[in-house]
Amino acid sequence: MRPLVPAILAMAATVLASNILVQFLLGDWLTWGALTYPFAFLVTDVTNRVQGAGAARKVVIAGFVVGVLCSLTAAALDATTLRIAVASGTAFLLAQLLDIRIFDWLRQRDWWQAPFLSSLLGSVLDTVLFFTIAFAAFLPADANTGWANETVPLLGAGPLAPLWASLAVADWGVKLALAALALVPFRLIVRKILLSPLRN
């Protein structure tokens, strides 16, 4: 486990920061957490490239445990509901595991394909699962989730849709942009680690 400590700490920091920053709005459709959470995919992908899928799964499980602890703390402070906590944990775990699987399938292709496509598809699953479980009307609403079903123009200008649909589209757009931007640090970090004298 010792070689995984930096990745586990990076994942834990990403999850913790995202759980804190999700409470602060960034415009009409996002929270600050939308800017930090996608780095979980970067941590997973770097670990997968350097140490393999098994190691990446261990890092994801560590992040999941941190996320559960954050959710339990927030629930104890009445800052969230069980529904949002379940949505967050389910989306994180399944999206990250999908990311690992797709990355592993694409491992032998051009260097950018595995991290970009795995993050892209993992982000789709993460967004769909989180916003559907947390806010969709087919599940019982409460004071912390009912507001999200108000009907508004999609992203303020499109056809009418539940508010949570605008939040989901904006969130996925940020994840997509950051998946592309994360290719730069992915390439640099992987090269640095693989060329490190400690690995030779």
Domains and CATH numbers, the chain: 2-199 (1.10.1760)
What is d(CA 109, CA 73) in angstroms, rounded to the nearest whole number?
A: 42
Does residue 147 carry a pLDDT above 70?
yes
Percent of the chain with pLDDT over 90: 70
Q: What is the pLDDT of residue 143?
A: 67
What is d(CA 97, CA 167) in angstroms, rounded to the nearest whole number?
A: 24
Task: Give tens-digit pLDDT for 157-193.
Answer: 989 999 999 999 999 999 999 999 999 999 999 999 9
Does residue 7 carry a pLDDT above 50?
yes
Q: Which residues have CB under 8 Å from 194's CB, separation 6+? A: 50
What is d(CA 117, CA 125) in angstroms, rounded to the nearest whole number?
A: 12
Look at the block and give the residue holding tokens 């970009």.
116
3-state secondary structure of 141: coil
Look at the block and give the residue holding tokens 């931007």.
181
CA distances for 96 relative to 26, 52, 159, 176, angstroms: 25, 14, 32, 15
pTM: 0.91
Q: What is the arithmetic mean of pLDDT over 116-133? A: 96
Q: pLDDT-derived band of residue 197, with 50, 70 and 90 as boundaries?
A: low
Task: Give tens-digit pLDDT for 92-117.
Answer: 999 999 999 999 999 999 999 999 99
Q: Choose between 148 and 39: higher pLDDT.
A: 39
Q: pLDDT-derived band of residue 200, with 50, 70 and 90 as boundaries?
A: very low
What's the mean per-residue pLDDT of the chain? 90
Task: Give tens-digit pLDDT for 10-27.
Answer: 999 999 999 889 889 998
Does residue 145 carry a pLDDT above 80?
no
